[in-house]
Amino acid sequence: MMECSVRYMRRCFDLARLGKGFVSPNPPVGALLVYDDEIIGEGFHKSWGGQHAEVEAIQSVPEHLRPLIPKSTLYVSLEPCCIHGKTPPCINLILDQGIKSVVVSAIDQTPGVRGRGLSVLREHGVEVHQGVLEAEGRWLVRFRNKWATTGRPWVIAKFARSKDGFMGLLDRQVWISNALSFRLVHRWRHEVDAIMVATNTALIDNPRLTTRLWFGCSPRRVILDRQGRLPHHLHVFDGQVPTIVITERAQCFRTLPVQTIQLDFGTRFWPSLLDQLGTMGITSLLVEGGSRLLYSLVESNCWDEARVFESPMVLGKGVRAPSFSGRVVQSLSLGDNTLTIWHNFKPGC
């Protein structure tokens, strides 16, 4: 039973990932219906406001196999919902279809759910197995669960560093990561709600912060410009993507197609910013730079995840890359680059 459950749950995870970037602020979820060790239906949550994974899986069962639904086991990567949001509660459909066995990976931390969905199923005689590949299941929905429990987005620090520990030069743009890494970053942009850079990065690099190299949605841009120094011709002000400017001088941006948040840049900057972004429905924030922004993020301990590319390039001088104290959750090679992903288990802000 356990070996089969692991195999089917991994398939649920694969399906769920197909929804990343399209379902926020909902979590990505995948589901399967299995009868006699055969998958008879599968589905995933495709878009925010659309049908949940359980509905997609049940509706995908061919007509001639539908009599098998009550005899099948439903595998779901996340606890089925028991509250009415954009769609009806999934537990109602499960009970209506007469499904007697449900296998779940992680608990949904949404207020009003948090294990209640599984409890209701058990109360109606459904056999429920919870916790299959639970750590992987929680990681898959970490953006949603943090936002649901704290009101703040999951914060990802991302940068590239040279072999000798520098992330760039002081006065000009330097490409440290390779083409494979660059394309992967565009995929990440599609998967998050917002992407953030500070004044110097916007000035020196003039980035677009879009997903030009990956199919999908571009995230909201969050631009830090404390004193309103950025010229208005920069790509980040082109109006093509919703843009939020964090500043102490909101009047400098009143003619631009942007939203401004006037914020005190003091010691409570990061907690205040994350609270503000959370109220806007932003569940994940990718912080791309520059160096002072990343260092302040590390010092505040407000980061949740760090994605660091290391190149064989040797700079010899420049801006030192920050370091992280956390757990390495993944390390892989991308051509001559190495990607290391860190998880901060004790964010402190």
Model pLDDT, residue 92? 95
Q: Cα dist. 188→28, 39, 211, 239, 286 in Å?
A: 15, 30, 9, 21, 8
| Residue 304 amino acid letter | D
Instruction: Give the Cα separation of 252 and 320 in Å (integer).
Output: 32
* pLDDT of 324: 84
Statement: residue 340 has pLDDT above 80:
yes
pLDDT digits (tens, 9 = 90+) for 26-37: 999 999 999 999
> Does residue 263 carry a pLDDT above 70?
yes
Tell me the pLDDT band of 289, cut-offs 50, 70 and 90.
confident
Confidence of residue 204 (pLDDT cuts 50, 70, 90): confident
Q: pLDDT value at position 186? A: 96
Identify the pLDDT of residue 105: 98
Q: Which residues contact 38 (CB under 8 A, 6 or more apart)?
A: none
Q: Which two tokens stand for residue 91?
A: 């537990």
How far is C-alpha 67 from the geometric centre of its chain's CA atoms?
38
Report, as an integer, the average pLDDT of 89-95. Answer: 94
Q: Which of 327, 292, 291, 290 is nearest to 306 (CA)?
A: 327
Task: Give the pLDDT of residue 139.
Answer: 97
Cis upstream peptide for 67 (omega within 30°): no
Mean pLDDT over the full length of the chain: 94
Per-residue pLDDT reduced to its tens digit, 68-90: 999 999 999 999 998 877 778 89
Residue-wise pLDDT for 36-76, tens only, equals 999 999 999 999 999 999 999 999 999 999 999 999 999 99
Residue 229 pLDDT more than 70?
A: yes
pLDDT score for 70: 97
Q: Classify burial at 138, counting beta carbons within 10 Å of its beta carbon; exposed 0-12, middle 13-18, buried 19 or more.
A: middle
pLDDT in tens, 149-192: 999 999 999 999 999 999 988 777 788 999 999 999 999 999 99
Q: Given a cut of 70, is residue 2 above it in pLDDT?
A: no
Structural domains in the chain plus CATH codes: 2-147 (3.40.140.10), 151-343 (3.40.430.10)
Active site residue 54: yes
pLDDT value at position 330?
Answer: 95
Percent of the chain's residues with pLDDT above 90: 87
0.85 surpassed by pTM: yes
DSSP annotation of 66: G
Cα gap 104→78, rounded to integer Å: 6
Among the listed residues 38, 42, 54, 134, the single catalytic one is: 54
Q: Work out the average pLDDT over 208-224.
A: 94
Report the pLDDT averaged over residues 4-32: 96
Report the pLDDT averaged over residues 260-289.
95
Bond from prior residue into 290 cis (ω within 30 degrees of 0): yes
| Cα–Cα distance for residue pair 107/319, rounded to 1 Å | 42
Query: Which among 155, 158, 156, 169 is positioned nearest to 320, based on CA atoms?
Result: 169
- pLDDT at residue 4 above 90? no
pLDDT mean over 293-302: 95
What integer pLDDT is reported at residue 1 of this predicted model? 54
The answer, yes or no, to whether residue 148 has pLDDT greater than 90, is: yes
Arithmetic mean of pLDDT, 206-232: 95
